[in-house]
Structure 1
């Protein structure tokens, strides 16, 4: 596959920073959150409240640091041989010739989500959207994250080709989970995204995890009123 380094977009958006919630932008007049938050939501919603609503910052875990290092290394290698292209050029060209890109930015103002796809394969017959994760377990939270990338991509392109969501073991070629982005799955992820907006708008309460193992390993436990030693 050809390697395309997507560096810009033909469409421009009206973007403002949210006045009080860290990480939230207001795009086309609607709150817009990073898609990666869906992974955090599945782990513990209250963690989102502590980090972004209260603005508590902590030191990254060794696992986070290691993951970022691998991610940056792959991105550097990719850019060495990739050809610059706009998002629209890459999508259109892929209808004839398969290509792949890393760190592909997608945004869907209609649904209030945005994020960077780790890797995307654009083929004449299908689009495969890949998110790299440690381990080989497809958790609901990680599946929701890559499904939201699919939704944002589809919203940007009105894509008629088959879209697939995939999880890959970080640092390997192992796609350990893959599914077709069906209308039923699209409906489910829209529901999850709406819940996130309800949390951020103050219409719904942040529910803490009931898993004590998650609490013990949480980097925010010292700031959490729900943590029980």
Structure 2
């Protein structure tokens, strides 16, 4: 087993003129994959944060998550050797490699992001997203599915790909699935919905769950709040 630090390659991009966080790559809007998690919680949050530009302080949970994430990355980098994405793909055909914070980009689908951890093995590839809890929500499943899609497009590798959710800071993988053609079709549908929101073709839909509204950082700014 080898720990590999994949060197990120540059790409030509420009920032969207009105939507913070969206890049325009080869004439197409490209959004962070993590937004799919936020969409599953409440689409209107995305509207308030990135289209209206409303800023709110980080919560304690967010700060804790960032700290744990940074610690795990630092520990990994102490033993990891640098390599290109293509080099790691080739090495992994013979032996298991592990990489963290791997950048993936699908220009075709208009998505990009950093995968927490990838196990590349001769027989399969496992895409792992770390989460604070141990429950697989539709929003977190959508996020890891999009990572699988971007990895598949970027690598053009024919090995089976699995998506997995793991409890942050532990070895507990509490959900996994094979990324097959049906799953790919489902996540592309979700991604296309996101693009339709940014292009003004469809409205942002707020959650109808008052419990989500109660814990939302944007509650005081939201005209759709259910409380």
TM interval, shorter chain, is over 0.9
| Aligned match of 2:133 | 135
Pair 1:5 & 2:40 matched = no
Map of 1:26 onto structure 2: 24
Separation in 2, partners of 1:114, 1:129? 14
- In structure 1, what is the equivalent of residue 202 of structure 2? 204
Partner of 2:119: 121
Aligned residues: 227
Which residue does the alignment assign to 2:165? 167
Deviations 1:89-136 (A, max 9, x none): 111111111100000000000000000000000001100000000111
CA distance in 1, matches of 2:157, 2:179: 12
Which segment is superposed worse, 202-211 or 86-95?
Answer: 86-95
2: CA distance between counterparts of 1:8 and 1:88?
Answer: 11
Q: Partners of 2:97 and 2:106 in 1: how far apart?
A: 22
CA distance, structure 2, for counterparts of residue 174 and residue 79 of structure 1: 21
* Residues 1:72 and 2:70 aligned together: yes
Contact 2:30 2:110 in 1 (8 A): yes
Aligned to 1:194: 192
The equivalent of 1:156 in structure 2 is: 154
The alpha-carbon deviation at position 13 of structure 1 amounts to: 2.8
Instruction: Report how far residue 157 of structure 1 moved.
Output: 1.3
1:87 aligns with 2:80: no
Question: Following TM superposition, by how much is the alpha carbon of 1:14 offset from its aligned partner in structure 2, in angstroms?
Answer: 2.0
Partner Cα separation in structure 2 for residue 135 and residue 228 of structure 1: 25
Could you state the TM-score of these two structures normalised by the residue count of structure 1?
0.98
Indicate conservation of the 8 Å contact 1:199/1:206, yes or no. yes
* Unpaired stretches in structure 1, ≥5 consecutive residues: none
For the residue of structure 2 that corresponds to 1:146, the secondary structure is helix
Name 2:48's counterpart in structure 1: 50
CA drift at 1:158: 1.2
Instruction: Report the secondary structure of 1:81's partner residue.
Output: coil
Determine the structure 1 residue equivalent to 2:182. 184
Contact 1:13 1:28 in 2 (8 A): no
2:8–2:103: 8 Å Cα contact kept in structure 1? Answer: no
